Amino acid sequence: MITDKDKEILDEIRFVLTGRTKSTLVVMVTETYGKRDEVKAELAKMLPEYREAILDLSGRSITSLFRTIRDDVSQEIQTSKPVEYLLHIFGLEDSLLSSTEGFLGTSPLIRELNLERENLFHEFPFCLIIWTTGYFTEKLKTQAPDLWDWITYSYCFRDDSITQNNRDIPPLSELREGFTEERKQRISDLEKRLNDLSLTGDSVRVLRSKFTVYTALGEEYEAASCFDDAIKYYKAALAVTSGSELGETFVAILYGRLGTLYFKRGLAPEALLYFNKAHAEQREKLHDSSTESILQLRETDIKVES
């Protein structure tokens, strides 16, 4: 629900963006994904002169926003008329962690944002709107001070409807295999939970909550034999988890599940890559049924076509 306070902030943003002749970068902080989508929809109605595009980085692990925009945004948008587009960036906070050689650690993203600030402000013809969390903006302020000094427009939208949505997700439902009506309903419930998830407060709690929902969705899609969707959510879980906070075993399990899913899809090289990552991550403590067999797996067990 758009509140009177939201309308005041939106009026200020409309004033900032109406009639612009030069691109800029705007940071929008919201407490839930639902609030983000609500505010974005209202903003679109207030600024009909702009065309819109979305670059959704949720569940990904990038190290350079500038290079990612260059690689992923269409040439039509990158060569558009000055200030014709608003490019909305979602999920950048998921890249605070990165994977190197199968091991998770702190991403260089914040440092790179600080270094590439001039490119982000001046190299693109469109206005960048970064939708993120309060925790991510605090990281920018403390670890990318040069970039933050350049950011004139930063706004925060509260969500008064937040309830305790970050509670534990029940274990995988005891439903028969396949994309049943019961499973469709559970997936719908989980996706609503993700949409309403509170993104405020302790960063570890937020990461744990996102990890739990992503993993539950991966499990449901895997049980429904929707392997591409399962892979997407397991990778999203990997992107927000930390070996030091959530435990090495969780990471090993996810790598093993990804290996199993790629193997079921007939993608032997990808399967072997993730099996090896799982094996390296937690050789002695693989308790998940989908990863126990990794200890006996040998490269000759998977025939990779040359």
Entry pTM = 0.65
Residue with tokens 């427009």: 153
Residue 283's pLDDT is 61
Query: Mean pLDDT throughout 212-234?
Result: 88
Percent of the chain with pLDDT over 70: 77
User: Is residue 165 one of the residues assigned to a domain?
Assistant: no
User: Is residue 87 one of the residues assigned to a domain?
Assistant: yes
Number of domains in the chain: 2
151/216 same-domain check: no
User: Is residue 83 one of the residues assigned to a domain?
Assistant: yes
More confident: 206 or 37: 37
Q: Look up residue 135 and give its two tokens.
A: 């925790």
Helix (H, G, I), strand (E, B) or coil at 23: coil
pLDDT above 50 for 293: no
Query: Mean pLDDT throughout 277-296?
Result: 55
Task: List the domain range (segments joined by +) for residue 220.
Answer: 181-301
H helix intervals, the chain = 4-17, 33-46, 65-72, 75-78, 109-115, 117-122, 134-143, 145-150, 181-195, 203-223, 227-240, 243-246, 248-264, 268-281
Q: CATH number of the domain that 130 lies in?
A: 3.40.50.300
30/84 same-domain check: yes
Mean pLDDT of the chain: 80
User: Is residue 175 one of the residues assigned to a domain?
Assistant: no
Helix (H, G, I), strand (E, B) or coil at 88: strand
User: Is residue 218 one of the residues assigned to a domain?
Assistant: yes
β-strand pairing of 85-90 with 103-106: unpaired
pLDDT above 60 for 52: yes
78/210 same-domain check: no
Q: 240-279, pLDDT tens digit by residue?
A: 765 445 555 578 888 888 999 988 888 888 888 888 888 7
228/138 same-domain check: no
Residue 106's pLDDT is 64
Residues 168 and 66: their CA atoms lie apart, in Å, by: 36
User: Is residue 166 one of the residues assigned to a domain?
Assistant: no
35/78 same-domain check: yes
Q: Are 254 and 219 in contact (CB under 8 A)?
A: no
Residue 97's pLDDT is 61
124/205 same-domain check: no
Residues 128 and 121: their CA atoms lie apart, in Å, by: 8
139/185 same-domain check: no
67/192 same-domain check: no
CA dihedral of residues 242, 244, 250, 253 (deg, nearest 10): 90
191/296 same-domain check: yes
User: Is residue 17 one of the residues assigned to a domain?
Assistant: yes
User: Is residue 170 one of the residues assigned to a domain?
Assistant: no
